[in-house]
Amino acid sequence: MNSSSGKHLNLMDLYESMLKSFGSRGWWPGETKFEICVGAILTQSVSWKNVAKAITNLKNAGLLDLHAMYESPQEEIEKCIVPTLYFRMKARKLKAFVNHVVKNYNGNLQLMLEKPLQELREELLGIYGIGQETADSIVLYAAEKPIFVVDAYTKRIFSRIGLFSEAITYNQMQEYFMSRLKPDVPLYNEYHALIVGVGNRFCSNKNPKCLECPVVTFCKFDANN
């Protein structure tokens, strides 16, 4: 199944194979930067189709606005985001985020997003409920700053390809990509979106669809073992 050595694979070859299969994925979906931030928080541990339902509910309720969400009781937010699972916890995270922006930036989200990359990332990580993947998604997709977002799909796909171990940490994965790819926002944007597409459609934890996968020729994984 494998025609290449994992140690010597070019990450752009993998990128081109995925792009040829999927085309541009148009990530991150969102009409405003605030909507992108909300989506990044809501998508934790749930599929995007569920997040889309929640975002539609928030829009219909007039709550997909930073100030409106800030003024809204948490219970009203909870009602809108039930499809995302853990909705009470996620409503609390959303409130923590908007409270932070209102308290520190008078509700001006753009002012926060304009901060230098590492400073912004550290600040986001200090907000309740925002971990590394969520913070990096906000930095890349909302602030449009070059940081590579990695996730469970990244670990699964690239460990099966043979580029790194399943024991690799988030920071090590991120460094792997950022040390080998030029710091380019559109590239990082599309690359992560393509990884999610492969992970969601082909490279599942159980019963992966290896023969249909766009990176099968690079992969060392044997689904029969």
**Residue range 201-216, pLDDT digits in tens:** 999 999 999 999 999 9
Sorted by sequence, the CB contacts under 8 Å of residue 20 that are 6+ apart come out as 214
pTM here is: 0.94
Q: Which amino acid is at 18?
A: M
Taking 70 as the threshold, does the pLDDT of residue 179 lie above it? yes
Taking 90 as the threshold, does the pLDDT of residue 157 lie above it? yes
CA distance 25 to 19: 9
CATH code of the domain covering residue 177: 1.10.1670.10
Domain of 208?
6-26+149-218
The number of beta carbons lying within 10 Å of the beta carbon of residue 126 is 10
Residue 169 domain-assigned (yes or no):
yes
Residue 1 domain-assigned (yes or no):
no
Q: Do the Cβ atoms of 111 and 77 come closer than 8 Å?
A: no
Taking 50 as the threshold, does the pLDDT of residue 3 lie above it? no
Residue 93 domain-assigned (yes or no):
yes
Query: Tokens 């200090």 belong to which residue?
Result: 126
What is the number of structural domains in the chain? 2
User: Phi and psi for 167 in degrees, rounded to 5?
Assistant: -85, 0
User: Quick one: pLDDT band at residue 6, thresholds 50, 70, 90?
Assistant: very low
Pair 203, 126 in one domain: no
User: Quick one: pLDDT band at residue 5, thresholds 50, 70, 90?
Assistant: very low
Q: Quick one: which H or E segment has residue 96?
A: helix 87-105
Residue 59 domain-assigned (yes or no):
yes
Pair 65, 119 in one domain: yes
Residue 223 domain-assigned (yes or no):
no
Pair 78, 100 in one domain: yes
Give the tokens for residue 96: 């923590």
